[in-house]
Structure 1
Amino acid sequence: MKRLLSIPLCLVALLALGQAQAAKRPNILFMMSDDHAAEGIGAYGSWLKDYVHTPAIDRLAAEGMRFTNVCCNNSICSPSRASIISGQYSHVTGALNLGCELKPNAPS
């Protein structure tokens, strides 16, 4: 009988340990949209804020972290995405224009 009671107690302890481990992980939301300037998001307070309504993004910005100094490795969308996926510059990945493909040996 004691053995039967110890199994559920061990399971509860393991679940509690798993929850503690999960709480240590960072909560990161990576949002990416194609050709989306800061002016298109109300939280940045641009001249478009009265015309562009982004309540969900605005709430995320208010409750979390908002980046104000960012850059893009390439202004063309496909090479820019390739840089994000691989962590390398466009000239290294070989993705230099629209409709390009990553080199087969490119990390991702």
Structure 2
Amino acid sequence: MAAIAIVTACQPSGNGTVSGVVTDTSGKPLPNCNMIPEITSRPRPPMNEQGYLTGTDGSYSITLPAATYTLTALCSETPGAEEVSAMELVVEDGKEEIVDFDIPISP
């Protein structure tokens, strides 16, 4: 008789929220910035890898599967805005992480 072993990978489950405000270094809110989450942990939970826009007040809120991410703020509608990323952002089931971005603006 043959024995069969079933091995399952331990995957994070559930969703968490990442929210915050994107401003320039003087504190002025930056609307319409594209917030792009990229999963850096393995195994990767399934998700729609799309960006999310900041509101007119520079705020954003994103619900994501529990995992580790790099979150990048791209403010292409603001001339001179630099790309800024938050690395190793851990999203946990049922928890909210607050990540504010201060974007340098080049002249």
TM range (shorter): under 0.3
Q: Which has the higher strand share?
A: 2
TM-score, structure 1 length as denominator?
0.22
Higher-Rg structure is 1
* Higher RCO (CA-CA < 8 Å; seq separation 6+): 2
Q: Which has the higher helix share?
A: 1
